[in-house]
Each structure stands twice: as structure tokens, then as C-alpha cells.
Amino acid sequence: MATRSGWLDRLKTGLRKTGSSITTVFTGAQIDDALYEDLETALLMADAGVQATEFLLADLKRRVKDTRATDATQVKALLQDAIADMLAPLEKPLTVGVYHPTVIMVAGVNGAGKTTSIGKLTKHLADAGATVLLAAADTFRAAAREQLAVWADRNQVEIVSQQGADPSAVSFDAVAAGRARDLDVVLVDTAGRLPTQKHLMEELTKIRRVVTKADITAPHEVLLVIDGNTGQNALAQVKAFDDSVQLTGLIVTKLDGTAKGGVLCAIAREKPVPVYFVGVGERLEDLQTFRAREFAQALVG
Ligand SMILES: Nc1nc2c(ncn2[C@@H]2O[C@H](COP(=O)(O)OP(=O)(O)OP(=O)(O)O)[C@@H](O)[C@H]2O)c(=O)[nH]1
Ligand SMILES: [Mg+2]
């Protein structure tokens, strides 16, 4: 738990930039139109998006009326409740163990934190006693394969990697090997790509399709890694990747930086996909499970 509290401190620090602008709205004593207007601006600045912002404002006004809240501190607590309720549907644990192996595909734009997150996730899984196989489906760059190999080495797990091979062929081999060796988890690391790069999105769809050929029930999870600093574009990424590969979950990284965590509200409102993990740095313990209430409190600090 010490690890989690350290992680939470980093999350709070990361979100403080955004959070403080929301918090300052509540420094005055009056609950009036000006307060709601300032709050609207602060939420939009935090990348919550128009839909989620409007929903939150209406929801908050209702809560204020129902509770007959009279001071700004109470209203702030009610906003935390409203955000926590909005984010609650995104809270869902990643389950492994139902399928052998559980095949997890990981996708995202360039540099979002896919490989690092896979490394951390491998550590979490291995610590919990799961046997893990990594698939280096980012076959084009030698550095990408090496980076994943370092994580495999560090966690003492096996890796399927083949220079210049077709990414879907490597994924197929990895899933087949995972089945043959009766492993618990196969994690497929893919190359970064933009949703606008049609041929690369098709390559991703192909990986998914070929994985299903290796195991009719797979992939069991398709995760999108998003950089917490991406702002509103994160929502567009969720939509585009979901269209191509049917996402089952998200990992939101880099919430330790100048992140604007409000985008999770936009995702919850417009394209709800569970958030399995939140990353706040490059160390192993910096990846932790997402909890809606905790996040809401960190955002409205
Ligand atoms: N501050 C911070 N840095 C992170 C976090 N997660 C990843 N990084 C850093 O972000 C950079 C890119 O991470 P990678 O894991 O290589 O990203 P990727 O998505 O695999 O990148 P490509 O494979 O090139 O598309 C690295 O320098 C990581 O150390 C995080 O939660 N916080
Ligand atoms: Mg990578």
C-alpha cells in the first residue's frame, strides 16, 4: 500500500496544475452564476470537453439544490462526487486466468508509453505468479525489439521476436507458443501509429485477425495506451482505435506531467472504455489500477 500512496501523491502533483484551476473556483464564499461560469471554464481547460462539462454543471446544480449546500467547500465536495459518479463506469479490473493464455494486445500512437506499460504490467503479473510471454510485434525497429527484450530480461519472462518479420506472424507465433506452453498471459507490443495512417491501422486490424486464427477466443483484451497530455485528441484516438480493433480497455500514462486529467470525463461521457491502469512515471511502481473516486479527488484537489 505504501507504493500506492506514493503513486497517488505523484498523480495528485501531476493533476495539480489542472486541479488548482478547478479548486480556485471554490475559494470565494458565494455560490452564484459567476462560480458556475468559472467552473465551466476550468473544466473545459482541463480537457473535460463540452458534453461532459455541461453534464457535470447540470448534475452539480442538482446536487447543490438537493443538499441545500450553502458554502463553496460543500459545492467542491459535491463536484468530486459528481466526477466520481461520472468516472465510475470506467473502473474495472483487468482479469487474467479465465483463458490460457489470456492474450492482451496493446496499441497506441507513437511514444504513448506502450512498451514501458507492458514492462510494468509484466512485472505486476509475474509478481502475482502469472507466467508471461511477450510478443515483439513492433518488428520494424531494432530499438523497439531491444527495448522489449530488456523488459523480458528484467522480469525473466520469455519473448517472441523476429527481425523484419510481419507483425501479425510474430503475434501468431507468440499466441501459438503461449498455448503450447500453457502460459497465463501473452502480451503483444505493437508499433506506434496514428489513426490517420490507414495502412498502419490496417496492419493492426490484421494482427487482431491473425491472433484470432491462433486462438479462436483471442484477443481477450485490446488495450489502447494514451498519453495523459494529449488532451481532447485522446478521445479521438479512443474512437479511431476502437473502430479498428474494438478496444476493451485503456492505460492512461504520463499523468505525472502537466497532464489535464479531465479528458477521462470526456471519455466517460462520449466513449466509455474501462481504464485499467494509470501511469505516473517511468518506475515499475508508477503504474497502478484506476479508481474513480480517488481520481476525482486528485483532480479537484
Ligand atoms: N513521465 C512519464 N513518462 C512515461 C510514462 N510512461 C512512459 N513514459 C516515457 O515515455 C517514453 C515513451 O515510452 P514507450 O514505452 O517507449 O512508448 P511506446 O508507446 O512504446 O513508443 P513507440 O513504440 O515508439 O510508439 C519513454 O521515455 C518512457 O519512459 C509515464 O507514465 N510517465
Ligand atoms: Mg514501443
**Looking at the CA of 136, which ligand is closest?**
2
Average pLDDT over residues 7-25: 80
| 13 ligand 1 Cβ < 6 A | no
Tens digits of residue pLDDT in 125-181: 998 899 999 999 999 899 999 999 999 999 999 999 998 899 999 999 999 999 999
Tens digits of residue pLDDT in 74-111: 999 999 999 999 999 999 999 998 999 999 999 999 99
Using the mean position of ligand 1's atoms as its centre, give its distance from the Cα of residue 199 in Å. Answer: 23
Using the mean position of ligand 1's atoms as its centre, give its distance from the Cα of residue 40 in Å. Answer: 32
| 124 ligand 1 Cβ < 6 A | no
| 229 ligand 1 Cβ < 6 A | no
CA angle 124, 112, 176 (to 5 degrees): 55
Indicate whether 259 pLDDT > 80: no
Ligand 1, pocket-test mutation among 189, 277, 282, most atoms within 8 A of CB = 282
Average pLDDT over residues 239-265: 92
- Whether residue 209 contacts residue 127, with contact meaning beta carbons closer than 8 Å, is answered with no
Tens digits of residue pLDDT in 175-202: 999 999 999 999 999 999 999 999 999 9
Tens digits of residue pLDDT in 277-297: 999 998 888 999 999 999 999
Tens digits of residue pLDDT in 267-282: 999 999 999 999 999 8
- Whether residue 271 contacts residue 297, with contact meaning beta carbons closer than 8 Å, is answered with no
User: What count of Cα atoms within 13 Å lies in the side-chain half-sphere of residue 57?
Assistant: 22
Q: What is the mean pLDDT of the chain?
A: 93
Ligand 1 atom at minimum distance from 257 CA: 1
Q: Looking at residue 256, what is its pLDDT?
A: 86
Q: Looking at residue 242, what is its pLDDT?
A: 98
Average pLDDT over residues 104-120: 97
User: What count of Cα atoms within 13 Å lies in the side-chain half-sphere of residue 132?
Assistant: 28
Ligand 1 atom at minimum distance from 110 CA: 25
Q: Looking at residue 1, what is its pLDDT?
A: 54
| 227 ligand 1 Cβ < 6 A | no
215-220 contacts at long range (C-beta below 8 A, 24 or more positions apart): 215/99, 215/101, 215/103, 215/175, 215/179, 217/99, 218/99, 218/103, 218/175, 219/103, 219/104, 219/105, 219/188, 220/98, 220/99, 220/102, 220/103, 220/104, 220/248
Strand ranges in the chain using DSSP code E only, listed in sequence order: 102-107, 132-136, 158-160, 185-189, 221-227, 249-253, 275-279, 287-289
| 282 ligand 1 Cβ < 6 A | yes
Indicate whether 20 pLDDT > 70: no
Tens digits of residue pLDDT in 215-246: 999 999 999 999 998 988 999 999 999 999 99
| 285 ligand 1 Cβ < 6 A | no
**What is the phi-psi region of residue 71: left when phi exceeds 0, alpha when psi lies from -120 to 50, beta otherwise?**
beta
**Exposed/middle/buried for residue 143 (C-beta within 10 Å: 0-12, 13-18, 19+):** exposed
Using the mean position of ligand 2's atoms as its centre, give its distance from the Cα of residue 115 in Å. Answer: 4
**Looking at the CA of 224, which ligand is closest?**
1
Indicate whether 17 pLDDT > 70: no
| 258 ligand 1 Cβ < 6 A | no
